[in-house]
Amino acid sequence: MKHCIIVGGVAGGATAAAQLRRINPGIRITIYEKGRDISFGNCGLPYNIGGEVSDRDKLIAATPESMAERDITVKTHHEVLRVDSGAKKVTVKDSSGDREFEDEYDYLILSPGGAPKTLPALLNVPQAFVLHNLGDLDDIKAHIDGHGVDKVVLIGAGYIGLELIENFVRRGMDVTFIHRSEEVYRPLEDDMGDFFIEEMERQGVDVRLNAEIVEVTGNAATLDNGEEIDAPLIVAGIGILPRTEFLKGSGIKLNDSGFICTGDTGRTSVDCVYALGDAIETFYQHTGGKTTVALAWGAHRMAYVIANQISGNEDVVFEGLLGTNIMRFFDYDIATLGLEQHEVLEYDHFIVDHRQRNKAGYMDSSVPIHVRIYVSKTDGKILRAAVVGTEGVDKRIDILAAHIRLGGTAADLANIEVAYSPPYSSPKSVLNMIGYKTIEKLKQFDE
């Protein structure tokens, strides 16, 4: 019986195991997970803090026990230390039993994920946390409850940091937001994100830009300007690094930033070794360029692809992705897709920008939506899009993704048929209008 070892049992690894079992009843599957839990909804963690996921256990999609029922062996607290891709075996450390052993595979699926970054000043600070897994969630809530904490200092302006701001406010806590620059939420264009700070202030958040914590003593944190603030709870959401140290010397190719290189089959540079999830380098669907996208959609899709590849269905491949993403920040929805802002600069392009109400303008409840697209001058394709508003943003970004995926150009957006009724759109939707605007711009270039 063939043996498939999976490194990492969170979203990517657990989904790959489930898909593989579904397609391939005759393969032995073992998951080694370094942490305590598998298959939890990590994107949902902040929403348990804010109360929108009232049942914490609902975040757990599968347990070692439920996996065992599907004939999948799960070993938690088991860290894979090394991969010997020549001998097709891994070295595993059982941290509960404090022993090391080797295990042989026919197929290896790597889903190690990322390791959250932190700040030097927060090392060994007992009230400093990240929110990366279910254990972190439990620890944060235990700290709040155990110490009667009603105040939190949030560091980092990425999506996890911002989602946490919203959710701690919802929990009724006083929030201080500390960020080392003035640039909040880098995925979005600065001039489209004016509302971030306004909204924080409206929500009573104490906003400290261009500031960093340099020292924490007891419950007091000292900032780089010398000020001391009350910090009975500190949560850092300052990004992740791929957890791929253990692959050094394995022969499995990593890129310069340590991400595992993959292609359209999910295979790494080494036969029978596949990778998915937040630690891989993959490619853009629309340009073919390399990218790293730590998002769940791609991980789920790649799980399906790898399960099929291992099972001999070689025509099932990964098409690449657009990095389509969305974040809610209080009333706002912020979505982008395609190239990052700095990547667009490498292309000869023009920008089409449009604001329109999300539904028929005569409806009292209609609200503005702001769409910006970056169009290739070479072929008229959409390289990047950003959409911001308080309603209907998810719809527009998803339509754009579907359109771009099948080769639709910017001008062709004029032809997109939408379901129109006053509560949902205008007869000429915001995307139609950006298509018409593109057509006019292209005419100007022709003149």
> In the complex, which residues of this chain contact a second copy (CB under 8 A)?
11, 41, 43-44, 47, 52-55, 58-59, 159, 285, 295-301, 304, 319, 321-322, 324-328, 333, 335, 337, 360-365, 392, 394-395, 397-399, 401-403, 405-408, 414-425, 427-428, 432, 436
CB of 196 to a second copy, least distance (A): 16
In the structure encoding, which two tokens stand for residue 436, read together? 């018409």
Q: Which is nearer to a second copy, 35 or 408 (CB)?
A: 408
CB of 151 to a second copy, least distance (A): 26
Partners of residue 382 on adjacent β-strands: 375
CB of 91 to a second copy, least distance (A): 31
Rounded distance, CA 197 to CA 203, Å?
10
Catalytic residue, candidates 4, 43, 261, 272: 43
Query: What's the DSSP call for residue 259?
Result: P
Exposure string over 299-323, b if 16+ CB within 10 A, otherwise e: bbbbbbbbbbbbbeeeebebebbbb
Largest CA distance in the chain: 74
Rounded distance, CA 78 to CA 368, Å?
50
Q: Which is nearer to a second copy, 97 or 407 (CB)?
A: 407
Q: Which is nearer to a second copy, 232 or 338 (CB)?
A: 338
Tokens 């009230």 belong to residue = 127
**Single-letter code of the amino acid located at 344:** V
Q: Which is nearer to a second copy, 89 or 171 (CB)?
A: 171
Q: Which is nearer to a second copy, 180 or 428 (CB)?
A: 428
In the structure encoding, which two tokens stand for residue 405, read together? 């995926």
The verdict on whether 43 is a catalytic residue reads yes
CB of 278 to a second copy, least distance (A): 13
CB of 85 to a second copy, least distance (A): 29
Please list, in sequence order, all residues whose beta carbon lies within 8 angstroms of the beta carbon of residue 283, skipping any fewer than 6 positions away. Answer: 263, 264, 289, 290, 291, 320
CB 275 within 8 A of CB 262: yes
Q: Active-site residues: which are they?
A: 43
